[in-house]
Amino acid sequence: MTKLPFYEKVGYAMGDAAANLVWRGALAYLAVFYTDTFGLTAAAAAMLFLVVRLSDGVTDIIMGMIADRTNTRWGKFRPWILWSTPLLALFMVLSFTTPDLSYTAKLIYAYITYIGLTLAYTLNNVPYSALMGVMTPSDTERTSLSGFRFAGAFAGGLLVMGFLPDLVAYFGDGNSAIGYQYTMYFFASLLMILMLITFKSTKERVTPTIDESTNLKSELLDLSKNLPFIILPLLAMTLFFYYREIYSGTFFVVVMGAMWFFIQRLIKNTSEDLSGTQRDMVDLLTNKPWLILLGMGFLTMLFNGIKYGTVAYYFKYYVGDELMAGQYFIGLLLVSILGALSTSYLSNKLGKRKLFITSLILSGLLTGAFYWVPQGNITAIFILGCSAEFFAAIMPTLFFTMLGDSADYSEWKNGRRATGLIYSAGTFVQKTGGGFAGALVLVVLAGYGYDGMNKATIEASLPGMQLLMSWIPAGFAFAGALLMIFYPLTSQDNQQIGDDLEKRREAVAAS
């Protein structure tokens, strides 16, 4: 077993602290920036979030394939952290810049910069996430590393969510457009420093075996032929989610039925009849732990994303103190760091599956209780929010370490390991869940008549904000707990798989 040194765990954590200057900032404030500062309607911003997620479905998988086939003196995944960081910092600033343009031109600008931001994030975060799977072959060390990672993530989130309103007010001096832009200059500079620390302090130790019979060009060409497999379900889900009409629901059912038929035919084929991309698909589609985790990543991101995406609106209008949102985020993220660092200990006591289910149920119940909090009771808001967040912080920590377990399972079962591809799917469902969460917030607010540029619409939208902070996200937590019951890998299974793989690698190295 490779025990990772403390400095390397901290160095790896710095990468997610940097990433969450973007991720948490975009998730918590980009929606309210678009509607209240940039000037987009809630409906237009919701469609923007959904459309961009369609591109993520393709780019994350392509990035996973490219990273798996990258070979440099620095490894497969670490170089991408270095190369992508300046681009990520640039689009972080551009996404929160308000140019003097017409409404239509602003909408086009928002699409371009938000797509650029998500692409840069993909180039950076897919390899960063996959790096966890090759730093150590030990599943227990990966759990500990994931705890450090998300402690760093929440610390980065604490900076951007806890202090962004004050920094915007300070730099903008009454002009929120200028305030957002200069605040992002500061965070972008910090992002580049933290990513460099991660690159310099980490090391890749597990060398996955990749099929060298085909090159990347042929694999990407093969992937392009299978793009409908990725895009159509997302398109159907987007139409059903956004329009909620009979025709969109029918389209969704037809597409999912066709996909089920295609999957069954694909799985029945022999390995010799499949292309490289199709073999990867079959490996993943027959990997039950990975499939369940895919659903878990989406549901938990909806749960967390809806809450975080509503906070700025909730405190600005429901509580009546916009700057208190920053204090609330500080409280949440301090508790989140404790939750992330507790995950390794608690998972050793309860097991990952039982801990995941317990966290979902408790956090869901505490979140649902928000519905009965009186409008002016700040103490109850903070107590319930922080209590729920302790358990919510355990969810992504477990999710990413369990993706490593599913990669081990795939290699153990099929003799093939595509760490980048497996983790790219994980980051994809997280970003998709985040996109749908942000869109759902805006769709619900639009349904209550909310218009950020018309203060007369605020009062009627307050019940929507109340539901978005309580039972709407709680429903996704309970759905996740139900799904997690079917997760098949126990701690004993992970230990046995890890031992078998270590023997196989030693045998290959000795031959």
Task: For 29-40, write each residue's pLDDT tens digit.
Answer: 787 788 888 988
Whether residue 412 contacts residue 137, with contact meaning beta carbons closer than 8 Å, is answered with no
Whether residue 436 contacts residue 421, with contact meaning beta carbons closer than 8 Å, is answered with no
Return the pLDDT at 364: 95
The low-confidence residues of the chain, meaning pLDDT below 50, are: none
Return the pLDDT at 96: 92
Return the pLDDT at 238: 56
Overall residue count recorded for the chain in this entry: 511
Return the pLDDT at 261: 66
- Amino acid identity at 37: T
Alpha carbons 503 and 100: distance in angstroms, whole number: 63
Return the pLDDT at 113: 93
Domains of the chain: 7-204+225-510 (1.20.1250.20)
If you write DSSP's letter for every residue of 97-121 in order, what string do you get?
A: ---S--HHHHHHHHHHHHHHHHHHH
Q: Is 75 helix (H, G, I), strand (E, B) or coil?
A: strand
> What are the respective helix, strand and coil percentages of the chain, to the nearest 5?
85, 0, 15
Q: What secondary structure letter does DSSP report for 3?
A: P
Return the pLDDT at 107: 93
β partners of residue 287: none
Q: Is 72 helix (H, G, I), strand (E, B) or coil?
A: strand
Return the pLDDT at 254: 65
